[in-house]
Structure 1
Amino acid sequence: MGGFKKFLIRGNLIELAVAFVVGAAFASLVKDFATAFIAPLIALFGGEPDYTRLAVTINGTKFPYGVFLTSAIAFLVTAVIVYFVVVLPTTKLIERMDRHKEVTERECPQCLSDIPVKARRCRYCTVEVVPATEAPAT
């Protein structure tokens, strides 16, 4: 029972639970945004945004393809909103934050392993390298 208790209290499980709850709340927010703003815009240009009543009947069997069509449109709208509201700004923010990071490693010209910038010899293949702070001799 102690192992199960450790498993439940571990940090990454709690982080996952928090991410799930925040994700569910965000999904609800995006769905409501799409319903309140995007669906009326679609209705302005393309008529009714709810196609759930569309169906075709073949040999007495009803195929409600409108349900899928409505879900597909909702998915595409949600994906576009998430991309432009979350992914794109987050990517730009991470790029801006990483711009000021100091470079501490570089590739060894011989074995392509990562070595410290000021290294004079590769720790993996032991080839001599010119430290990045010095200009190479010609």
Structure 2
Amino acid sequence: MSGLILLGVVVQLVAVAAAWFQVLSDVDDGGVFDNNTQNWGHALHSVVGGMVIPLLAVVLLVISFFAGVPHGVRYALFVFGAVVLQVVLAFASYSVPGLGALHGLNALAVAGLAENAMRKARVADRAPAAVA
């Protein structure tokens, strides 16, 4: 599950970069950038970041209670917290655009935390079973 969150962050980065380069290209071609401007990259970024990744973070947190990964709940909580912060920063950035920089930076934190959770789960999966 944490691997899917990591993949989602990568999709987010690709989508937002493609979206803004499309806007720049459209403006260079005489287009206008305003409140009605929307393209596939912005739409994908909104769907993946606003629904898919938060849902995956909730599922990861629920699964962590049953997975038997040492400190797995802690890792899942870190990922979940970073995802919640990411959504808050996204909405707050509309009012305070400078927070958009923190939104971008926090995306890297979400990716790192998800990768760490994935690594810990893989290590736990390879560990020999404890004798009862």
TM-score by length of 1: 0.29
Q: Which has the higher contact order (CA 8 A, sep 6+)?
A: 2
Relative to its length, the structure with more helix (as a share) is 2
